[in-house]
Every structure is written in structure tokens, then in C-alpha cells.
Amino acid sequence: MSVIDPSKKGETAAHIPLCVPEIRGNEWEYIKECLDTNWVSSAGSYVDRFEREFADYVGADHAVACVNGTAALHVALEIAGVESGDAVLTSTLTFIAPANAVRYCGGWPIFVDAEEGHLQLDASKLRNFLDQRCEESNGELVDAETGRRIAALLPVHILGHPVDLEPVLELGEEYNLPVIEDASESLGALYRGEPVGVLGDMGCFSFNGNKMITTGGGGMLVTDNSEWAERARYLTTQAKDDPVEYIHREIGYNYRLTNLQAAMGCAQLEQLDEYVAKKRRIAERYGEGLGDVPGIEPMYEAEWARSSAWLYTIRIEAESFGMSRHVLTDTLSDAGIESRPLWQPLHESPAHESRCVGGGRIAERVKADALCLPCSVGLTPEQQQKVIREIRKAGEA
């Protein structure tokens, strides 16, 4: 009998990363087929197959594969009619990509604060702004303060949880504004039983390395509007009007996904339901393991939501927990556990400094007290117990 308990040995030696890909399906086989057949670039059967299977999975009529999620957002905003000088309302508590995409179109983001319960865009603050701070001018809705035309609504489903979308869609209808969902972080999540990303006019997804599924880098634009889908295909392939004679009437982009990446996407998509189930189980175990710790707020799921539990995030009230989020990060790091804060609210970002509808206090508080915990699909129960144990120990110290 070994004197070293192998589970213990592995445990102390192992680094537990925040959120890494899970590659255990048909990835090798499908990518090898691309290599063997020479179909490696932006044409090939896997691109078509990935688009078709993705569209079926989320229940969209069309899906257009893109080089990444940011590119999908850029093209979606352009197709929705966002032009230079326009304003687009989006979440302040999010990764920076959607705000950057607005700027690529020459537009200006106006940020909307989060709600406290699930940290998503607060539709009531959005309504207050549109009802009270905007006015009609020449048949268009403009921001009364800047005179900028409001061109679109861009709610971001963060951390795997949906935005409460119904009131946002109502506002879109009432004010005749296109709604583009940034579902990059929430593939597999349901809002009132429907997949996120297909409830607005267009939806965008990301397949970056840390997202629900990955193609290394990649994105998808989905829509039920066939004209828009066709236009997305046109714009993402350099706007070729006559591909044989090289005639282009517009500026397009080289935004297409390669067949190699799409092959990986097909293999990943086959495993998505299993990923969601595993991530939801991880979230449940954190809830059970940390829910009773003074000063720690676990993640809550709205009764109208089925979260994909992409990134498990706790909030720490330093006084009652006995340690700030900064010190806890270092303590966990010493134990070989990676943890990370959330994003700087975009209304405070030097890259975007702009107004925040609703003030932005909630996003600012979340920036100060939120901590993301390891939640890779492959996180073992033993690893997770270690994370829970280290956090409990830190709080008791």
C-alpha cells in the first residue's frame, strides 16, 4: 500500500484554473478530416454544417459564422443601421466587446446600470431613460442631452444568466428600435423557456477559449431575417459583388470563420448540453458549500431563467466575511486556486468614459466585491471541495 494518498498529492500539486476548455469529443477527428482533405480555410463543409447545427440548436432561421464574437456584434450593429454619431444603449457591467463594436460603427454607447438580483441590464432604468431623457425629432428618437439618434438596444446576457428581456423587447417595439442580444456568455441559457440570442432581432455569440463552447476563436450571428443573414454573409466576406471579377461596391470585412475552427465548433456543440448540465451542477455545489458563510452572497437564478452557469461569481461583504475580495484572491492563489474580479464598469473605463443610465452604483459595487471562482466543465468535485474549503477557512481565520 502506498504511503502517499494519491488524491491528496494531486490536490496540493494541482493548479485549479478559473475556466478552461473541455476537449473530449470529436474535435480531433473533425479537424483531422479538414487537414486530410485540404479544406482548412473559410470555405468548406464544416462551416455550413456548424451554421446549420447552431441555428437548429438555438432555434434561429439563420446563423452566420464569424471570426469572433466582437466581429459578429460589429456586423450586427451595422446591419441594424447604426451609423456614425448614433447612440446605442448597452450594459455597463460587461466585458468591453459590445461597447467597442458600437464604436467600430462610429456610434456611441450609452451605458445602463445592472439590477441587483442577477447583475443583468436593468430594463426599468432603460425605460426611464427612453421615456424621460429622450425626445422625438424629425420622426426619430434622440437623446435630449446630446441630440444623438438612438439607433439600437444591445442588452448583454452576462455570466451565463439571461437579461430579463421581455421589458427590453417591449421598449424595442414601443420605440421602434432594433434589439441585438449579446449572448456571448450565455449560450445554452433559457429565458422563459426560450434560448437566449433568438428573442431579439439578432443575436451574437462567442466561441473564445473561455466561453461555453470554443473554436479557439470564433463567433456567430443569428437572426430570423433572411435579408439580414444574407447581408451578414456578404459583409463578413469582403462584400464581394462579383467574386470572379473582383467587383466590390462596399467596404466589407474579412470576418469569416475557417473550416478548421468550424470543425471544432461542430464537435463542441455536440457536447454543449453536457457542459451546461455540468456547469449547473458546479453552481449548485457552490451554493450548497458557500451559501451559509457570513458575508458571502452566492449566485441566484431568476425563476424565469435557466442559467448556463458560465462563470460562477460570488459577492463578498468584507466586514462580515472578515476579508476583502482582494485578500481572498491572494489567499486562494497561494493555495493554487485561480479567481478573478469582474470587469471595470464601462462607464468608468478610460476607453469609453460615458454616462450611465441609472447612475452605475450597482455595477461599481459589483466591481468592488465580486469574485469569479473556478468553474471549468472539467472541474472535479474534489477540486471544487478544495475551493470551498479554502474560502471557508479564509473566512474563519
Ligand X SMILES: *Cc1c(COP(=O)(O)O)cnc(C)c1O
How far is it, in rounded angstroms, from Cα 380 to Cα 367? 28
* Site for ligand X contains 208 (CB under 6 A): yes
Which residue is nearest to ligand X, using beta carbons? 69
Write down the least CB distance from residue 1 to ligand X, Å. Answer: 48
**The one segment of 7-15, 177-185, 266-274, 318-326 that binds ligand X by CB under 6 A:** 177-185
* Site for ligand X contains 69 (CB under 6 A): yes
Between 147 and 176, how does the x/- string for binding to ligand X read (CB under 6 A)? ---------x--------------------
Residue partners of 299: CB distance under 8 A and separation at least 6 = 159, 161, 283, 286, 287, 307, 309, 312, 313, 314
Which bin fits 71, alpha (ψ -120 to 50), beta or left (φ > 0)?
alpha
Considering beta carbons, is residue 220 or 394 the nearer one to ligand X? 220
Between 80 and 119, how does the x/- string for binding to ligand X read (CB under 6 A)? --------------xx-xx---------------------
* Site for ligand X contains 268 (CB under 6 A): no
Burial class (CB in 10 A: 0-12, 13-18, 19+), 289: middle
**The one segment of 2-10, 67-75, 137-145, 279-287 that binds ligand X by CB under 6 A:** 67-75
* Site for ligand X contains 390 (CB under 6 A): no
Vertex 197 angle, CA 234 and 217, to 5°: 60
The grid coordinates of residue 160 equal: 451565463
Choosing from 92, 120, 206, 384, the residue that interacts with ligand X (CB under 6 A) is 206
Write down the least CB distance from residue 219 to ligand X, Å. Answer: 5
By the 8 A CB rule, do 213 and 207 touch? Answer: yes
Give the other-Cβ count within 10 Å of 184's Cβ.
Answer: 30
* Site for ligand X contains 308 (CB under 6 A): no
* Site for ligand X contains 376 (CB under 6 A): no
* Site for ligand X contains 185 (CB under 6 A): yes
By the 8 A CB rule, do 177 and 171 touch? Answer: yes
**The one segment of 79-87, 206-214, 232-240, 281-289 that binds ligand X by CB under 6 A:** 206-214
Burial class (CB in 10 A: 0-12, 13-18, 19+), 319: exposed
Considering beta carbons, is residue 17 or 289 the nearer one to ligand X? 17
Choosing from 162, 219, 360, 395, the residue that interacts with ligand X (CB under 6 A) is 219
By the 8 A CB rule, do 218 and 240 touch? Answer: no
How far is it, in rounded angstroms, from Cα 90 to Cα 112? 6
The footprint of ligand X (CB under 6 A) covers 68-70, 94-95, 97-98, 156, 182, 184-185, 206, 208, 211, 219
